[in-house]
Amino acid sequence: MNVSWLDSQATGKVSHYYIIKYKTHVPSEPRVRFLNSTTLYCVIHALRPYTMYEVTVRTVSGRRRSSWSMTESAITKQSKPTTPPTDLTVMDLNELTSVQLNWQPPDQPNGELNGYLVFYTTDPRHDIANWVIEPVVGDKLSTVIKGLTLDTQYYIKVLARNTIGVGPYS
């Protein structure tokens, strides 16, 4: 994230620097972080994708510190999901050749999910390009697969997708 600010009090003769404070409201990352800068901008690295951050700045000149600036908020860009869908379960239906699949979204979707891809096969050694693919559009967390062969073992994988790309398989 690129952060910049104006300092109407900077004279160029007085030695000073800036403290940049930033944080997010993600429960697993509650701590406040700080950076120092001698210029009117900084780049904050290693942020979580598609996450709201709050940023504020203060000036330090000698032993004097200004009050914190007004807080600004920004959302980082999306990236493809970095974790797979979780809790994949298969439920038998009354129809002998159909099953219902249920799952939960990935822990780190890194954006707004627009669907899932369900892959299944009877031979897991096949290249994934040879597995049957069933797209699931939107935020649905289940689908029914029909037309399966009786008394046959199937292997199933699910992945999440957003506008940036697809995540890893379950």
- Average pLDDT value for residue range 37-53: 95
Over 90: is that where the pLDDT of 28 sits? no
Q: Is residue 163 within 8 Å of residue 138, measured between CB atoms?
A: no
The enclosing domain of 104 has a CATH number of 2.60.40.10
Q: Are residues 63 and 103 in the same domain?
A: no
- Average pLDDT value for residue range 11-22: 83
Domain termination residue (choose one: 47, 75, 103): 75
Print the domain residue range for 55: 2-75
Residue 29: pLDDT band (50, 70, 90) is confident
DSSP 16-74: EEEEEEEEE--TT----EEEEESSSEEE--SPPTT-EEEEEEEEEETTEEPPPPPPEEE
Q: Above pLDDT 90, what percent of the chain?
A: 85
Residue 81 lies in a domain: no
pLDDT (0 to 100) of residue 123 = 97
Over 80: is that where the pLDDT of 10 sits? no
State how far the Cα of 131 lies from the Cα of 154, in Å rounded to an integer: 11
pLDDT (0 to 100) of residue 76 = 95
56's tokens = 């504020």
Residue 51 lies in a domain: yes
Q: Are residues 68 and 101 in the same domain?
A: no
pLDDT (0 to 100) of residue 55 = 97
Residue 170 lies in a domain: no
Q: Are residues 70 and 94 in the same domain?
A: no
Q: Are residues 41 and 93 in the same domain?
A: no
- When divided into structural domains, the chain yields a total of 2
pLDDT (0 to 100) of residue 94 = 84
Domain termination residue (choose one: 23, 47, 75): 75
Average the pLDDT over each of 8-12, 33-37, 166-170 and give the range with the smallest value: 8-12
Q: Is residue 65 within 8 Å of residue 59, measured between CB atoms?
A: yes
Mean pLDDT of the chain, nearest integer: 94
Overall pTM surpassing 0.85 (yes/no): no
Residue 108 lies in a domain: yes
Over 90: is that where the pLDDT of 70 sits? yes
pLDDT tens per residue across span 78-94: 999 999 999 999 999 98
pLDDT tens per residue across span 115-165: 999 999 999 999 999 999 999 999 999 999 999 999 999 999 999 999 999
Over 80: is that where the pLDDT of 14 sits? no
